[in-house]
Amino acid sequence: MSDTANWIFDFDSTFVRVEALDELAEIALAGRADRDTLLGAIREITNLGMEGRLAIDESLRRRMSLLAIQPDMLPKLVQRLVDNLTPSFARGMGQLRSMRERVWIVSGGFHEWIDPVAEAVGLRRDRVIANRLRARADGLLEIDPAASPCAIDAGKAHAIRAAGVPRPRVMVGDGITDWQVREHGACERFVCLTEVVRREPVAARADVVAANLDEVLAAASDLRAPDQG
């Protein structure tokens, strides 16, 4: 394992073994007669976006439009996410905590639930790059476009550069937006994690395909900081 690499992890289906918006939908749609239909639609939109068949901003807009998100739903969601860490990440959390100065989470999800999950497992919440919600006049939550750098095409790459994440940088994820970080030069290596889901259009573009966290960390053993050649 490289002791110089900065590790940039996607959140949904990478750090946790679920899609947070899908989990939030289950909470928000509880008791509705059309719950199963809407959940199916949301999951389909998620998959289209992750495979690159739907633009990330459109994927996010469509999913959010199907939900009425209330602030009191968020603690329930956070607990679900803490309880659903990806298995190899749960086992390796002690190692990730020991690397916490070099561990980042970059997601098309939202600070409102990723920050508390990072804090709960002992990682730095100021190493989270994500989107933000805002309250509407009726009290429901919606995306805040002015504070959502990862809600646009190639947004993760732009946000990583804006945050000044040092080289060498390894991006780890399962979706096309994670590979785009490599495509746009904001990391030196892209590792496609397949522990939760294997998306062939993403795996085909990856520098490394890894089945678990141990294989992920081994994928950067040859990377060195710029002043080391």
pLDDT in tens, 1-39: 557 899 999 999 999 999 999 999 999 999 999 999 999
Mean pLDDT of the chain: 94
Which of 12, 57, 174, 178 is the catalytic position?
Answer: 12
The string of pLDDT tens digits covering residues 110-153 is: 999 999 999 999 999 999 999 999 999 999 999 999 999 999 98
The pLDDT of residue 91 is above 70? yes
CA-CA distance, 124 to 107, in Å (whole number)? Answer: 15
Number of H helices and E strands in the chain, helices first, is 11, 8
Instruction: Indicate if the pLDDT at residue 228 is higher than 50.
Output: no
Return the amino acid letter for 114: I
Residue 227 has pLDDT above 70, yes or no: no
Q: Is 36 known to be catalytic?
A: no
Task: Say if residue 26 is exposed, middle or buried (CB neighbours under 10 Å; 0-12, 13-18, 19+).
Answer: middle
Give the DSSP per-residue string, 52-103.
TSS-HHHHHHHHHHT--B-GGGHHHHHHHHHTTB-HHHHHTHHHHHHTGGGE
Task: Assess whether 12 carries a catalytic annotation.
Answer: yes
pLDDT above 50 (res 56) = yes
Pick the CATH number of 6-18+85-228 from 3.90.950.10, 1.25.10.10, 3.30.2420.10, 3.40.50.1000: 3.40.50.1000
- Separation CA 142–CA 162 (nearest Å): 24
Q: Kindly report the pTM of this predicted structure.
A: 0.93
For residue 159, the tally of other CB atoms under 10 A from its CB is 21
pLDDT tens-digit readout, 187-202? 999 999 999 999 999 9
DSSP H or E run through 133: strand 133-135
